[in-house]
Structure 1
Amino acid sequence: MSHTLTGNGYKRCKCRENGRELGAKCPKLRRKGGTWNPHHGTWHGKEELPAGPDGKRVYLRLGGFRSETELSAFYQQAGRLLDIPDPGPEGHEARMEILEVIKEAHQKHTPLPAHEELHRKYRTGQPLQAMTFGEYWQQWKERRERLKDIRESTLLGYVSHYETHIREVLEKVRMDKVFVPTVERVFTRIDEKNTALLAARTSDDPAVRASVRGKRITGPVTKQRVRATIRTVLASAEREHVVSFNAAALVKLDPGRKAKGVIWTGARVKAFDAGYEERLATERAAKFRPKKRLERFKIWLATPRPSPVMVWTPAQLGAFLDHATTDRLYALYHLIAFRGLRRGEACGARWVDCELDEGTLAVSTQLTNVGKKVREGAPKTEASDAIIALDRGTLRILLAHRERQLQERAAFGASWIDTGRMFTWEDGSELKPDWVSEHFERLAFAAGLPPIRLHDLRHGAATLSLAAGNDMKTTSSMLRHSSQSITSDIYTSVLPEIAHAAAEASAALVPRRAVAEEVSATGGLPSVSQAAPARPEASHGSSDTMDDLGIQK
């Protein structure tokens, strides 16, 4: 097809006679002298394209043009685009793709793509049709679901990021128009929503404050993850030549470093308890409080803490373990607290991987929540798939737990579900990791302790290991990290007593005559008490019954 074609223009209208559309036969289309009537009908064109490999004829039929000049100009531009592919059957598929681009642009009254741009796409093997980010996202997600080349839980996180933050900004943006400022608008919109949320929280209108209760600010770490989602999708698009570069990789954000563990010292516990009591009093006095029983556990859980990652002292951990001794999942929490397993690894642990005689446990699988379902998968990283050593105390607890599980199996008889898991429901079925976390938090509340997440027991295990004199390599190996830097950067907190001992040791290295003379003159400095901190009293959880806390006896 030559790009000089005009479309063989003719006119049609929608006049009807006896219920039938007259089309090109309407007598009003021409004047008495046979010339076209400029005030009736619209211009249409029809051009035959090279036939496909099957010999079937192909046409470019378009209508609705206001003038013959407009029709001719459009067909000339369309002809140049259709000349881009190789002639004959070799270029048929690309020619049909360009034909769809032309039809879509005419239907939507949008400009045709530039010849140079379309020619470059054809030469480099890129898709010729303009695709929006939303359309590409849908194809990308369906491909991931089919190929199963990423974890189901990871894909679920990507979907959450898209639906919550990305969709409203990028869904209708053409892929070839996804530039750095375009992606930055996603995070500008997040900041706008954060500002609105903060304003609503401090509003004088109780109804406005109630409308945002439970909603959280989108912080730097989440922003980083949203950008990672966009970057992952655009990386696939770049490999497929849908885009020429990855705009998300060039977007600058706050580093969003992960929070390090903070110890629950006495002063921090006192400040937290004061904040909890204040919130509790506010909720009790609220006029617009929902007509539900005031659940102190949820108020305790929502009270701000010094850091997202909090670590109990050894005394606090001992208080929790003493309180939870009779709980069915005591062995699971003990195992996490001392050997640093992740939640999913503990829930997925199998007896076949546990050598009680040798005192080892092979971490080879994990359970994760994927939406409302629980899925089994490989450990988080390659380094996570390893064997950990068990101390004698943990072995005794696991043996006792195994004995109780065998008793439950005998009680259920034929209805017992043999999953092979070390930690299960009473009927042998698999635990739900999210429930295990909430159960842990309710036990901590009932024990009168400050709140930590279940994962923070893993942080505490790293801290205890270092406090016991183990080096960083040993501690990193216990946690099964791929490098020691991950352990030192994230999972280690210095216990106050260890820090004090280190400070005294450092100071003792420097001889000071003035200090010696002062000690001689005063008869000695007062000594610092080395007594171990007292275990916390169960203040906020002691008056709740086990039923109120939702804990099974």
Structure 2
Amino acid sequence: MTSARALPAALSSCLPISSRHEQRSYRAHVDNVIVPAIGHVPIERLRAGHIEQLLIDAAAGRGPVTIRRIHATLRSALSYGVKTRRLPFNVASNVTPPNGTRPEVQPWSADELAAFLRYAETDRLGPLFEVIAACGLRRGEALGLRWGDLDLTNRTARIRQTIVDVGGRLQFSTPKTRSSEAAVPLTERAARHCCRSGSARTSTGRAGATPTRRTTWSSPGRTAPHCGRSTSRATSSP
């Protein structure tokens, strides 16, 4: 049996998948990286050299964290083959993933961030950008905030859920780490913008919109382009 047929079946049987988002991620590793590289090789004939070359090729344009996840996905699937006695040993176990090149991050300066926030102040997602900038939240964490998660008196936000895009559908999930669930401080400016946003919703009859699971500021996939357009306009404005 070729790897293209054996690996997806093994993966679905062996990995403890806790969410559809993780399932989609694992499947993407198999469909987009692993099968195109070694899918034609019979699974019994896989050797460490196949795995090493796969990871080297996959490292082009991908960060080291992604490469480690691809390696872990393949190693888990092959471990299932060993467990079921289809394979004598796991050829991926002794392969070390290449380090790859971590993309250089170029954060905004304080002046650049201030210019962006001034421009976005009247944008419908202005309060969202203020919260992200003040708290350093991930997009999904910020988008998952409900009014009940905000304590504007003490200026804190509690991250209890996050929004992920699974095959074009928004789903609620738990934060990535336990530390993410802790209360994070809000700046006075961010709290003020949240109050203003809440007042606007109340005046338009939408005061109860944010706490529900069906209504959020936006989706992760739409927020980034929206931010990019606002950034371009802010930097081109006189």
TM-score range, shorter chain: 0.7 to 0.9
CA offset digits 1:49-106 (Å, max 9, x no partner): xxxxxxxxxxxxxxxxxxxxxxxxxxxxxxxxxxxxxxxxxxxxxxxxxxxxxxxxxx
Residue in 2 aligned with 1:134?
Answer: 4
- Do the aligned residues in 2 keep the contact of 1:132 with 1:172 (CA within 8 Å)? yes
1:162 corresponds to which residue? 30
Contiguous gaps of at least 5 residues in structure 2: none
**How many correspondences in the alignment?**
237
1:245 aligned to which of 77, 83, 89: 89
Quickly say closer, same or farther: Cα 1:407–1:393, change in 2 above 3 A. same
Q: Which digits, 9 at most, give the CA deviation of each residue in 1:22-64, with x for residues without a partner?
A: xxxxxxxxxxxxxxxxxxxxxxxxxxxxxxxxxxxxxxxxxxx
Q: Is the 8 A contact 2:52 2:95 kept in 1?
A: yes
- Could you tell me which residue of structure 2 aligns to residue 236 of structure 1? 80
Q: Equivalents in 2 of 1:158, 1:417: separation in Å? A: 37
Distance 1:332 1:189, change over 3 A: closer
1:191-222 Cα shifts (integer Å, max 9, x gaps):
8xxxxxxxxxxxxxxxxxxxxxxxxx534534
- 1:184 alignment partner in structure 2: 52
AA at the equivalent of 1:403: S
CA distance in 1, matches of 2:154, 2:109: 30
Taking the aligned partners of 2:97 and 2:12, their CA distance within structure 1 comes to 29
Offset, 1:431:
1.9
Work out whether 1:342 is the aligned partner of 2:210. Answer: no
Cα distance in 1 for partners of 2:162, 2:95 equals: 34
Change (3 A) 1:228 1:419: same
Q: Which has the larger radius of gyration?
A: 1
Q: What are the equivalent positions in structure 2 for 1:138-537 lying under 5 Å apart?
A: 138-143=8-13, 149-187=17-55, 190=58, 218-219=61-62, 221=64, 222-256=66-100, 258-259=102-103, 307=104, 309-410=105-206, 418=209, 420=211, 428=215, 431-448=218-235
Note the alpha carbon deviations across 1:389-408, whole angstroms, 9 max, x for none.
Answer: 22322221111111112233
Cα distance, 1:236 vs structure 2: 3.5
C-alpha separation in 2, matches of 1:419 and 1:240: 49
Asked if 2 retains the 8 angstrom alpha-carbon contact of 1:350 and 1:421, the reply is yes
TM-fit CA distance, 1:439: 0.3
In the alignment, the residues of structure 2 paired with residue 447 and residue 439 of structure 1 have an alpha-carbon distance, to the nearest angstrom, of 12
Q: CA deviation at 1:349?
A: 0.8
Query: Contact between 2:63 and 2:102, CA under 8 Å: does it hold in 1?
Result: no
Note the C-alpha offset of 1:359: 2.2
Give the conservation status (yes or no) of the 8 Å contact 1:224–1:256.
no
How far, CA to CA, are the matches of 1:319 and 1:250 in structure 2? 50
CA distance in structure 2 between the partners assigned to 1:322 and 1:439 by the alignment: 15
Contact 1:175 1:242 in 2 (8 A): no
2:67 and 2:16 map into 1 onto residues whose CA distance is 25
Question: How many angstroms apart in 2 are the aligned matches of 1:141 and 1:408?
Answer: 49
- How far apart, CA to CA, are the structure 2 residues paired with 1:442 and 1:322? 14
Identical positions, percent? 25
Q: Cα gap change, 1:186/1:257 in structure 2, threshold over 3 Å: closer, same or farther?
A: closer
Deviations 1:129-151 (A, max 9, x none): xx54333323235447xx97233
2:210, 2:86 → 1: CA distance? 46
**Structure 1 counterpart of 2:74, one-letter code:** I
Contact 1:421 1:430 in 2 (8 A): no
SS state at 2:170 partner:
strand
Q: Deviations over 1:425-471 (max 9, x none)?
A: xxx456211101110011000011xxxxxxxxxxxxxxxxxxxxxxx
Give 1:321 shift: 0.7
How far, CA to CA, are the matches of 2:156 and 2:57 in structure 1?
Answer: 50
| 1:69 match | none
C-alpha RMSD of matched pairs (Å):
2.9
Q: Which moved more, 1:230-239 or 1:355-364?
A: 230-239
Query: Aligned AA for 2:5?
Result: E
CA distance in 1, matches of 2:87, 2:203: 61
